[in-house]
A = this chain, B = another copy of it.
């Protein structure tokens, strides 16, 4: 039987990072991966800019200015942010201007209005200024032609802001992996369907579908399918050409209804592996059909959940190269005992907060669902731990 790490390696070797791109509107690009270098089309600021409200003037005109010995200049015009003063400021002249306005030609500094008599036709200046004091140079933030954001970055609000500063409203991003989700099992009811004895509602698609949405990659297909090998095989034939990864749940164990083995045979697919040395969900199966990876998880709720996180996410990481899919682990101090012998490598549902991890007090059985309500990480119990005691340091895998 493979270790989890061996299974991860086999899976991730079988997929390639997606190189197809598409243009999307800027706000839709949040969380997506940038597929172009963002290049400045002009300088920023696009002109020498006033950082404050006051008067643009020539620094040399202020020599010796103080409150007691003010220098008086002729006010030749006024300019607000968004406008341009077309003339040139000469010796003995000043232009009234507001924060964000372009500094007119000839002027090399701006005195803030608090250091003047506020002015009118003339303005009295109470302070000496050096040239280029209070002066935002054209291009001091970035220069035309420079690369502002490199291809490959994941777009967050800050990067969106930089792109918006160019006036762009669309951006080229890498396409998202196309993921299909198929739940199997004749005991599984569709949501809202009338409950009948022997039946349970579909939770596996709810979990994996929500996780894909949380990580901004909603599934392109999400369906429940009957427990017939031929039907499942036909569906995989139909959707494989337009998906990058198919995740199924159920039918992977050794019972008569464990149809995924039959599916592999019907398709004549290449099995990558069957069974991974972890609990829950050890009978995970993986195969390739016509180049598309099919990851078949246990139908047991926590088996499907844990192995989507432990085996599915690394595949998504390989497909996208985006950090958000990477498994993040950390050490944490366990706050409760787990008395059941591990009997192999086992994952439990936990809640991590401030470096402490609480073993979810709920039923931890792989068929149990309620424990998911208070689960933000998986706690790893290794075979040598023979259970786990409060105070022990454990490795947790963040959801």
- Interface set of A (CB-CB < 8 Å, partner B): 26-27, 30-31, 42, 44-47, 49, 51, 53, 80-84, 98-102, 113-114, 136, 140-142, 148-149, 153, 156-169, 185-189, 191-193, 195, 197-203, 206-207, 209-211, 213-214, 227, 253-258, 299-301, 305, 362-363, 365, 367-370, 372-376, 399
Contact = CB atoms under 8 A, between A and B. Distances in A.
B30 A157 contact: no
Count copies of this chain in the complex: 2
A214 B188 CA distance: 34
Contacts of A305: 161
B46 A195 contact: yes
Nearest to A206: B164
A82 B198 contact: yes
Contacts of A82: 185-188, 198-199, 227
Contacts of A203: 161, 164-165
Contacts of A369: 44, 141-142, 161-162, 165
B100 A207 contact: no
A86 to B, nearest CB: 10
A374 B206 CA distance: 35
Given A100-B299, A185-B82, A161 B193 contact: no
A76 B346 CA distance: 36
A159 B209 CA distance: 13
A165 B373 contact: no
B161 A207 contact: yes
B80 A186 contact: yes
B158 A375 contact: yes
A255 B53 contact: yes
B167 A192 contact: yes
Q: Lowest 4 A-B CB distances belong to which pairs?
A: A53-B255, A82-B187, A164-B206, A158-B372
A101 B149 CA distance: 55
Nearest to A155: B210
Contact of A200 (B165, B193, B365): B165
